[in-house]
Structure 1
Amino acid sequence: MPNAYSRALKAHDNNQEGIRLQKILAQAGFGSRRKCEQIILDGRVEVDGELVTELGARADPSKQEIRVDGSRVRLNPNHITLALNKPRKVLSTMDDPKGRYTLRDIVGDKYERIFHMGRLDYDSEGLILMTNDGELSQHVMHPKYEVEKTYIATLQGRISGNVCRRLVSQGVQLDDGWIRLDHCAIIDANHDTTLVKVVLHSGKNRIVRRIFDAVGFPVKRLVRTQIGPIKLGDLKSGSYRVLSQTEVRSLAKEVGL
């Protein structure tokens, strides 16, 4: 026997109200229309908590909650999310009273109400995410979700594998408490410097620099290469790109949306 929601969806379909579910899923980055039809037939889609397996089903994404495999489908044509490669000597802000170079000088005023999700210090470079989606930004920056961040750091001096392992297994005590790296691997080294890849969840100010200062290997250069599932890739310094719906969906899933 069809449930109440299935009957309501049929009524929607008969009245040509709402948007066909496969079209909504395609617009949200789940693949081609045909692939999205299969997702529905496979029983992976819920609307307002009810399973939907009918290809004729329609829904209103502005009024109804649509989920695929338990993750919410977020579809707002006015939302935009950017990946930006911040150069050194650029402030992680949109405006500076002293007239220094900011993120606004890179993205301009093309996108209304866009803001950055987290920061990089003035001398660091690499990936910054920006959006005008307040809910997404709140989740990405909230400590509860502990989004993983990856950095490539050039250290002064030659660090040993033992130090890296200790930073992962034991951590180091800073002024604001103990902190551990999730991952630390030496990429290259010479007599004067060491190149390391580090991964951690903390978003505290200058955290990577403070960690290596504490063990006697100051950071000479720091590049953030990944935030959650979003990678810097070959994005040139001082440029940005718009994230695809698939990328935004993967980021949203990472932070519980």
Structure 2
Amino acid sequence: MERLQKYLARAGVASRRSCEELIARGMVKVNGEIVTEMGVKIDPDNDKIQVRGKLITKPEKKVYLMLNKPKGYVTTLKDPQGRPKVTDLLTGIEQRVYPVGRLDFDTEGLLLLTNDGDVTYGLTHPKHELGKTYVVTVKGVPDRDKLNRFAKGLRLADGITAPAKVRLVRKKGNNGVLEITIYEGRNRQIRRMCETVGHPVLELKRVSMGFLRLDGLEEGKFRHLTKEEISKLIKSVK
């Protein structure tokens, strides 16, 4: 027996959190009956599970990908404006995978995609939030006092940020190049933090998530995680 939302996530329907939302909205049936309560257990071998009327088959092979996202792509699976999606870059991947978190349309760099709902849920849960490091070109050059404000936490519209690590890597003309590591995943967080100290972002690239680094992966290209990386990733969210 297995919890319904976990089974749906394992089957690649969506992240576990999104599967819980589908259940709550009455979009899931078990043996023809709508289920809206969390924690219902099912027998994957004998029960008939449907989402929006579509029969869910046994879980497919797990896939874990690292993509070097270019600018000009959205990390959603659908876009009302018809803009390019990161999944458009995944040639040869048969499984339906989902981005782990998001990168803005104008942000580039490391993006994980997987059909493992448990891993996605774990990586995006505050309890397991991995450090994410960005190389950021900002307008002007922040002084030491402004850099120290990142480490103390910055007040944004949605509250004070957790302490971040920041260092000035180099000057680029009249602008500065920073390396910033954050441990939470607020919407457009890096951009808002930099605006708060008076140095708007000009360029933004994520170069690592936890122990995973781009390490020469070409822009617009992807690769499968190694067995060792997958094992370490799964252990990090348990």
SS across alignment from 2:127: coil
Change (3 A) 1:180 1:164: farther
Q: Establish whether residue 193 from structure 1 lines up as the match of residue 175 from structure 2.
A: yes
**Is contact 2:60–2:95 with CA below 8 Å preserved after alignment?**
no
Q: Which moved more, 1:246-255 or 1:146-155?
A: 246-255
The aligned counterpart of 1:6 is: none
**Is contact 1:84–1:128 with CA below 8 Å preserved after alignment?**
yes
Structure 1 segments unaligned to the other structure (5+ residues)? 1-75
Structure-2 separation of matches of 1:247 and 1:236: 19
Q: Which moved more, 1:135-144 or 1:103-112?
A: 103-112
Percent of aligned pairs with the same amino acid: 33
TM-score (norm 2): 0.72
Q: Which moved more, 1:182-191 or 1:228-237?
A: 182-191
The amino acid that maps onto 2:137 is T
Q: 1:109, CA displacement in angstroms? A: 6.2
The amino acid that maps onto 2:121 is Q
Q: Which residue, out of 212, 223, 228, partners 2:205?
A: 223
Structure-2 separation of matches of 1:245 and 1:154: 34
Change (3 A) 1:109 1:222: same
The amino acid that maps onto 1:238 is G
Q: Which residue, out of 114, 119, 138, partners 1:131?
A: 114
**Is contact 1:126–1:225 with CA below 8 Å preserved after alignment?**
yes
Q: Establish whether residue 238 from structure 1 lines up as the match of residue 216 from structure 2.
A: no
The amino acid that maps onto 1:121 is D
Change (3 A) 1:79 1:237: same
The aligned counterpart of 1:89 is: 72
The aligned counterpart of 1:99 is: 82
Q: 1:77, CA displacement in angstroms? A: 8.4
**Is contact 1:126–1:223 with CA below 8 Å preserved after alignment?**
yes
Structure-2 separation of matches of 1:161 and 1:232: 29
The aligned counterpart of 1:63 is: none
The aligned counterpart of 2:103 is: 120
The amino acid that maps onto 1:209 is R
Q: Establish whether residue 202 from structure 1 lines up as the match of residue 184 from structure 2.
A: yes
Instruction: Deviation per CA, 1:150-171: give whole Å up to 9, x if none.
Output: 1000010011123212210x22
The amino acid that maps onto 1:197 is E
After superposition, where does 1:68-87 map in structure 2 within 5 Å?
A: 78-87=61-70
The amino acid that maps onto 1:137 is T
Structure-1 separation of matches of 2:146 and 2:162: 12
Q: 1:125, CA displacement in angstroms? A: 0.5
Structure-2 separation of matches of 1:191 and 1:96: 37
Structure-2 separation of matches of 1:129 and 1:88: 16
SS across alignment from 2:198: coil
Structure-1 separation of matches of 2:167 and 2:94: 38
The amino acid that maps onto 1:143 is P
Structure 2 segments unaligned to the other structure (5+ residues)? 1-58
SS across alignment from 1:158: coil
After superposition, where does 1:28-67 map in structure 2 within 5 Å?
A: none
Instruction: Deviation per CA, 1:98-134: give whole Å up to 9, x if none.
Output: 3211012101462312111100011100010000111
Alpha carbon RMSD of aligned pairs, Å? 1.6
Moved over 3 A (4+): none
Q: Which residue, out of 211, 230, 234, partners 1:248?
A: 230
SS across alignment from 1:144: helix
Count of residue pairs the alignment pairs up: 180
The aligned counterpart of 1:69 is: none
TM-score (norm 1): 0.67
Structure-2 separation of matches of 1:218 and 1:82: 31
Q: Which residue, out of 157, 164, 173, partners 1:182?
A: 164
Q: 1:86, CA displacement in angstroms? A: 0.7
The amino acid that maps onto 1:157 is G
The aligned counterpart of 2:133 is: 150
